[in-house]
Amino acid sequence: MEQPKSTPRSERLHLTLLGRCNSGKSTLINSLTGQHSAIVSDIAGTTTDPVSKSIELPSVGAAVIIDTAGIDDCSPLAEERMAATRRALDTTDIALILFGSADTQIEEPWLEELRRRKITIIGVLSQCDRHADHAATAKAIESRTGLKIVCTSGTTGRGIDELLVTIASIWQTEERLLTEGLCRAGDRVLLVMPQDGSAPKGRLIMPQVQTLRELLDRGCAATCCTPDTMELALRSMSKPPQLIITDSQVFGFVADRKPKASRLTSFSVLQARYKGDIESFVEGAHRLLGLHPTARILIAEACTHKPQNEDIGRVKLPHLLHKRLGERLHIDIVGGADFPTDLSPYDLIIHCGACMFTRRHVMSRLAAAQQAGVPITNYGIAIAALTGILDKVDY
């Protein structure tokens, strides 16, 4: 599916290539993209740090393709380079692991790590033009690793189309909907979107645009209103809408005025479902309500730049937390890549809506929290819990 060039990074497939030095990672990237953007040479260790590039991948669509240092790098900086590759895996949806022969010893620990992280793996026998019998080598790798192997040559172009089709078919099955399970084709859906001073001038914000577009694609009849025109919108419908989606700022107002028959959810709940694991976030929000007054909370923002919703993470949320749990609460706030590696000092993590992150990136933070035994929730769900509306939300 072709997607426009403006597809935000957080919506793009993140594809990472792993393999030994000189296995042909950079050459394969150039073949897949049809561009000569990655530096290729027969000097082992040409690519050092992860290099990511946004690209329209034929058959696949909008992607970020990530080249990495050889996994057998033994330079003095090898440890730092492998740590950087591991950080790249935090955002990786699909990993291509390149093999050069049936000796898979060096690749095995990486395969294990990819499996542990539940990253989809595609095995590649690269430079297959150099093998007298590449089919036999591929078979040997398959039986050792359990992977299905695609034979490619970045030089002759062999197997490149098959690889693109394989990537596209995996990516398609991972496509998610914001409104999955909440409405279906033919439903009437009302969107309540306040356009007050905090709304950007002349446009709708991304979660609203995304939701509206998806409803149209799914064959729903979408009606838009502000809190002021909600009653008018409802009166103009012959039957109550099956679903109402509201901005969370006016959730209470909408909940009080909605028809009984309509389900009610919020844009931030839709984003939490789409970008993370809503069940874990709701569980985290329930744990939040039971925290002791001296608990330690980590508020984590995805943005490194001055975030638009800075006041939520830095002002509104801490204020609500202190109001609910008292002034002795300890709150740390981090942004961007400063997410701590040691989460054990915390009793709870509250993550932002992560509009700048891929789902995979959010899920890797969720996994880190779970591994440390620390409950995690997100801004929208935490605010719903703190303002007493969590039990009124459909999710």
Q: Quick one: 221 exposed, middle or buried, by C-beta within 10 A (0-12, 13-18, 19+)?
A: middle
Binding-residue total with ligand GTP (CB under 6 A): 23
| Residue 131, both tokens | 């093998």
85: contact with ligand GTP by CB under 6 A: no
Among 14, 19, 147, 298, binds ligand GTP (CB under 6 A): 19
For ligand GTP, which is the closer residue by CB, 18 or 382? 18
The entry of Mg ion, ligand GTP, none near residue 304 (CB within 5 to 8 angstroms by kind) is none
154: contact with ligand GTP by CB under 6 A: yes
Q: Collapse the DSSP code of 180 into the 3-class scheme (helix H, G, I; strand E, B; otherwise coil) and give the result.
A: coil
46: contact with ligand GTP by CB under 6 A: yes
The entry of Mg ion, ligand GTP, none near residue 364 (CB within 5 to 8 angstroms by kind) is none
**88 to 127, contacts with ligand GTP by CB under 6 A?**
126-127
- Residue in the structure block whose two tokens are 């591994």: 371
In the chain, the amino acid numbered 343 is L
Which residues lie closer than 8 Å to 369 by C-beta, 6 or more apart?
343, 349, 375, 376
Question: Do residues 67 and 73 lie in contact, with contact meaning Cβ atoms separated by under 8 Å?
Answer: no
Among 40, 89, 282, 368, binds ligand GTP (CB under 6 A): 40
22: contact with ligand GTP by CB under 6 A: yes
Among 10, 22, 23, 26, binds Mg ion (CB under 5 A): 26
- Stretch binding Mg ion (CB under 5 A), from 25-33, 78-86, 246-254, 290-298: 25-33
- Distance, in Å, from the CA atom of 207 to the CA atom of 185, rounded to the nearest integer, reads 20
**283 to 312, contacts with ligand GTP by CB under 6 A?**
none
Nearest distance, CB of residue 290 and ligand GTP, angstroms: 50
Nearest distance, CB of residue 26 and Mg ion, angstroms: 3
- Stretch binding ligand GTP (CB under 6 A), from 21-29, 81-89, 141-149, 277-285: 21-29
Q: Could you tell me whether strands 61-67 and 51-57 are parallel, antiparallel, or unpaired per DSSP bridges?
A: antiparallel
The entry of ligand GTP, Mg ion, none near residue 170 (CB within 5 to 8 angstroms by kind) is none
23: contact with ligand GTP by CB under 6 A: yes
Q: How far is CA 205 from CA 10, 11, 106, 110, 197, in A?
A: 15, 15, 46, 39, 13
Question: Do residues 152 and 165 lie in contact, with contact meaning Cβ atoms separated by under 8 Å?
Answer: no
Half-sphere exposure of residue 336: CA atoms within 13 angstroms, side-chain side: 5
Best CA proximity match to 52, nearest among 16, 84, 10, 23: 16
Among 3, 7, 45, 139, binds ligand GTP (CB under 6 A): 45
Nearest distance, CB of residue 14 and Mg ion, angstroms: 18
41: contact with ligand GTP by CB under 6 A: yes
For ligand GTP, which is the closer residue by CB, 3 or 155? 155
Best CA proximity match to 206, nearest among 24, 353, 351, 17: 353
Question: Do residues 287 and 375 lie in contact, with contact meaning Cβ atoms separated by under 8 Å?
Answer: yes
Sequence-ordered alpha helix ranges (H) in 91-229: 108-116, 134-145, 160-173, 206-217
130: contact with ligand GTP by CB under 6 A: yes
- Distance, in Å, from the CA atom of 197 to the CA atom of 182, rounded to the nearest integer, reads 30
The entry of Mg ion, ligand GTP, none near residue 143 (CB within 5 to 8 angstroms by kind) is none
Which residues lie closer than 8 Å to 21 by C-beta, 6 or more apart?
44, 45, 46, 69, 70, 72, 73
25: contact with ligand GTP by CB under 6 A: yes
State residue 96 phi and psi, 5-degree precision: -100, 120
Nearest distance, CB of residue 96 and Mg ion, angstroms: 13
342: contact with ligand GTP by CB under 6 A: no
The entry of ligand GTP, Mg ion, none near residue 45 (CB within 5 to 8 angstroms by kind) is ligand GTP
For Mg ion, which is the closer residue by CB, 35 or 308? 35
By the criterion CB under 5 A, which residues form the site for Mg ion? 25-26, 46-47
By the criterion CB under 6 A, which residues form the site for ligand GTP? 19, 21-27, 40-42, 44-47, 70, 126-127, 129-130, 153-155
